[in-house]
């Protein structure tokens, strides 16, 4: 069992959703859309059609040479894609 307070991000992968924490990861079979409906929108932001991130875990958003944005998390090496449709969330950061 993974507590919601431990989750850094959720990422859709085919029929499953990857649940990533600072200490590891797991897989659940609940659709990302259903998960998103049950999460606090002040605590978790959708940043891509297949990615939902804990706001407190966000370190920075970067733009690469191709103009694509990626998200870096505190204490986690993986960079996550940010869709242009969700960039407005980061304007005040």
pLDDT tens profile 54-77? 999 999 999 999 989 999 999 899
Sheet (strand 51-54) strand order: 24-28, 16-21, 7-13, 51-54, 44-48
Q: What is the pLDDT of residue 53?
A: 97
- Choices 3.40.50.2300, 1.10.1740.10, 3.40.50.720, 2.40.50.1020: CATH for 4-90: 2.40.50.1020
Task: Map out the domains of the chain as residue ranges.
Answer: 4-90
Q: What is the pLDDT of residue 55?
A: 95
Mean pLDDT of the chain: 93
Q: Considering the entire predicted model, what is its pTM?
A: 0.91
CA atoms within 13 A on the CB side of 62: 8
**CA atoms of 75 and 62, how far apart (whole Å):** 16
Q: 31 is written with which tokens?
A: 């659709």
């Amino acid at each position: 069992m993974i507590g919601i307070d431990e989750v850094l991000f959720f990422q859709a992968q085919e029929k499953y959703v990857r649940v990533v924490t600072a200490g590891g990861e797991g897989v659940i079979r609940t659709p990302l859309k259903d998960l998103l409906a049950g999460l606090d929108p002040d605590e978790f932001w959708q940043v891509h059609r297949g990615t939902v991130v804990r706001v407190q875990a966000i370190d920075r958003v970067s733009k690469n040479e191709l103009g694509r944005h990626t998200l870096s998390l505190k204490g986690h090496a993986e960079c996550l894609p940010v869709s242009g449709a969700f960039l407005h969330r980061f304007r005040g950061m």
